[in-house]
Amino acid sequence: MDQEMEISFPGGKKVYSGYNGFTIQTDQSAKDGGDNSAPTPSDLFFASLGTCTALYALRFCESRKIDTRKLKINLELQSNEKTYMVEKIIFKINLPPEFPEKYTSALIKSMNLCYVKKHLEQPPQFEFDIS
């Protein structure tokens, strides 16, 4: 199953991605020459990882009729001071007091199934085709 995204350049430091009828907008911060009008591509990358793992947590809880309104997940990104590359991502899961303790490890196991996370663990090949 092939999928395709169309990337466009609407001006300034903005870069948009068209996919499935949606337009995903990115921009750069003012200090990097952008208008700070949208998240950076890097922000969206990590947000994608966070929301994907959270979706697996949501599905886990829904299947067990566990209320998720008080469930919170924060991503802590630890970067190398020289390369600025993120070297560690810590998922800080704040469970509500009423969350059944017996499900804690199973919740984490389900979050590990995240589609985005699996792509980081087994990255795709990259190819550039000039036409």
Q: Which residue ranges make up each domain of the chain?
A: 1-38, 40-121
Q: How confident is the model over 50-101, as pLDDT tens digits? A: 999 999 999 999 999 999 999 999 999 999 999 999 999 999 999 999 999 9
Distance of CA 39 to the CA centre of its chain: 12
Supply the pLDDT for residue 78: 98
Please give the DSSP secondary-structure letter assigned to residue 67.
-
Supply the pLDDT for residue 92: 98
Supply the pLDDT for residue 1: 74
Q: Which of these, 51, 55, 106, 99, lies nearest to 74 by C-alpha position? A: 51
Q: Which of these, 18, 16, 14, lies nearest to 28 by C-alpha position? A: 14
Pick the CATH number of 40-121 from 3.30.300.20, 3.30.70.790, 3.30.420.40, 3.40.50.2300: 3.30.300.20
Supply the pLDDT for residue 2: 84
Q: How many residues are present in the chain? A: 131
Q: How confident is the model over 16-29, as pLDDT tens digits? A: 999 999 999 999 99
Give the span between the Cα atoms of 58 and 56, in whole angstroms.
Answer: 5
Supply the pLDDT for residue 73: 98
